[in-house]
Structure 1
């Protein structure tokens, strides 16, 4: 799959001596290439009617619409960009509580004690997302999009590794839409954390991140060590930034969707142009170049 819009990097196509067709977003003057003209088709996406319940919280009509739009944008991303049939899932319902104390008590009373330190939680049995209204209300709306991503991945790709599940959720906080379509903004907190880790030479090597089993990733996250959450989010942002990288991300997700439990590290050579060496090189260049601005899909 190749996804692009006007203004995206060009896609080059060539055939090697064995007749195998290759695609790349880099021009190689050593081979005869042609530019592929990619024309996105019109969307046939139909939005879901999302239930939003606010308890002891006053939501304006604009805020309610903002929540509904954000949820539908996440669903549309997984449907159109990641090529999953979102109509096979049950739309989530949103419960917004007035503050952290009420939120904590709600989770404890529903035997969800592990989530009390979080900003929000997806509860699969009820297809429900529970959050509390933060002082900066926009952060609550971002948290809802984060948890919607978890709802999608947990339902459709239950074997997705933790770095990918959390990385997608982190970046989904920054998913927006304008008249041109869906786009991602950089995640300011994750960008800052990763930049600090890079400057202090404590950023996890990408091959080690991709080798990390989900239980070890989560253990490190619970212990509050390192910057794995921020790095996972930035790495997903990096993968979304070019059509060929998005293709790699889609391949990974569909491998795991089919029940593949292979560590991501061992899937790179077969799915990323140039293999693990090129992926690491591309990632390092992207980091030192301060990444991307807006990513349009």
Structure 2
């Protein structure tokens, strides 16, 4: 973890939060299913320094605050303020965890988990994940989202310019699963199925089969859940 010209407290706080994220992964899928995760994460103190690093790697930094490069397993974060940089750092680090633990995954699962863990906190021995403030206000979702069965078919839509609804939908799908025992069981089985195919993503048919077998009325339950007040998750 490289945080040049930033206080050591930022580095320490990020370490603690990422350890908490990893702990939650262990609770979801079982410690035996975890794998060692290596990540080269750099938080850059100025926008200019951040953009230079991104452009150097052939990518476009416009409208981004962080970027993860799958091939080199490295992430770069723009430090605008501590809160925003911490959220972005966690988000990009989760992509590295997903690569190491799951392998290739559908975009909704990869981004949904990254969005889910952005607001991870700690209190004593308890890990706390709050609803993502990008999509929730006053405990209610602020954006329309795709149904669960629709979301899992939209992997190719992420290449389009407006991905806001896809990010919101992916976050909401993961938060929904993490909000109940049956949802956690389904998420665990999806993750373990992905783990068995580290070089390939689960197909739409494979995902649909898992949903129909384990949660046949998922869209109906999901629709009802979206109308409720979202609560913080404790681990």
In which range does the TM-score fall when normalised by the shorter chain?
0.7 to 0.9
| Structure 1: segments with no counterpart, 5+ residues | 1-51
Check whether the contact 1:75–1:86 (CA below 8 A) recurs between aligned residues: no
In the alignment, which residue of structure 2 is the partner of 1:206? 148
Check whether the contact 1:129–1:148 (CA below 8 A) recurs between aligned residues: yes
Measured after TM superposition, the shift of residue 84 of structure 1 is 5.5
Measured after TM superposition, the shift of residue 94 of structure 1 is 2.5
In the alignment, which residue of structure 2 is the partner of 1:149? 94
Structure 1 ranges of 4+ moved more than 6 A: none
Check whether the contact 2:38–2:96 (CA below 8 A) recurs between aligned residues: no
Measured after TM superposition, the shift of residue 235 of structure 1 is 1.5
In the superposition, the TM-score normalised over structure 1's length comes to 0.70
* Pairing partner for 1:133 from 56, 69, 79: 79
RMSD: 2.2
> Compared with structure 1, are the counterparts of its residues 293 and 168 closer, same or farther at alpha carbon in structure 2 (3 Å cutoff)?
same
Q: Is 2:27 aligned against 1:80?
A: yes
Instruction: Indicate the SS of the match to 2:134.
Output: helix
Give distance in 2, aligned partners of 1:115 and 1:268. Answer: 36
Measured after TM superposition, the shift of residue 195 of structure 1 is 3.5
Give distance in 2, aligned partners of 1:181 and 1:269. Answer: 34
User: How many pairs align?
Assistant: 228
Measured after TM superposition, the shift of residue 116 of structure 1 is 4.8
> Compared with structure 1, are the counterparts of its residues 106 and 226 closer, same or farther at alpha carbon in structure 2 (3 Å cutoff)?
closer
1:277-296 pair list within 5 angstroms: 278-290=217-229, 292-296=230-234
In the alignment, which residue of structure 1 is the partner of 2:203? 262
In the alignment, which residue of structure 1 is the partner of 2:69? 123
In the alignment, which residue of structure 2 is the partner of 1:28? none
In the alignment, which residue of structure 2 is the partner of 1:249? 187
Measured after TM superposition, the shift of residue 85 of structure 1 is 4.7
Q: Which has the larger radius of gyration?
A: 1
In the alignment, which residue of structure 1 is the partner of 2:167? 229
Give distance in 1, aligned partners of 2:194 and 2:60. Answer: 26
> Compared with structure 1, are the counterparts of its residues 123 and 219 closer, same or farther at alpha carbon in structure 2 (3 Å cutoff)?
closer
> Compared with structure 1, are the counterparts of its residues 191 and 175 closer, same or farther at alpha carbon in structure 2 (3 Å cutoff)?
same
Q: Is 2:159 aligned against 1:219?
A: yes
| Structure 2: segments with no counterpart, 5+ residues | none
> Compared with structure 1, are the counterparts of its residues 206 and 124 closer, same or farther at alpha carbon in structure 2 (3 Å cutoff)?
closer
Check whether the contact 2:91–2:115 (CA below 8 A) recurs between aligned residues: yes
